[in-house]
Amino acid sequence: MFVKVFKAQLQAMFDLSKTALKILGYFMNATRVNTDLVLFDVEDCKKITGYNSYFPIWKGLMELLEKEIIAKGKHQHLYYINPNFFFNGDRIMII
C-alpha cells in the first residue's frame, strides 16, 4: 500500500510519542483509497501495534486527536484522517 505523507507535516510526526506513532501506523494501514474516513477496530489495532491492553491504544488515539492528525466522526468507531497530514489516493478526488 502507498500512503502520501506531506512534507509540511513531517515535523509533527517526529513530535509524536512512540505509542502515537504505532497508532498512526494503524490508521495509515486502515485508510482506504480516496477516502479520509477510517473505521477504527480496537482489536485489529491491538494486533497491528502489538499492544496487549487497551490503555496505550487509547493514549495514542488521544494524542492523535489532540494534534489534529485525526478527528472523531459522527459514530463511535469512525475517525477522519487529516488529509493535510497524509492521504491514500488522488487528493484531487476529495477537494
pTM above 0.85, yes or no: no
Q: How many residues are present in the chain?
A: 95
What is residue 95's three-state secondary structure? coil
CB-based burial label for 79 (10 Å; 0-12, 13-18, 19+): buried
Q: pLDDT (tens digit, 9 = 90+) per residue, 60-78?
A: 999 999 998 899 999 989 9
The pLDDT of residue 14 is above 80? no
Mean pLDDT over residues 70-90, rounded? 81
28 pLDDT band, cuts 50/70/90, is: confident
State the amino acid at position 75 in one-letter form: H
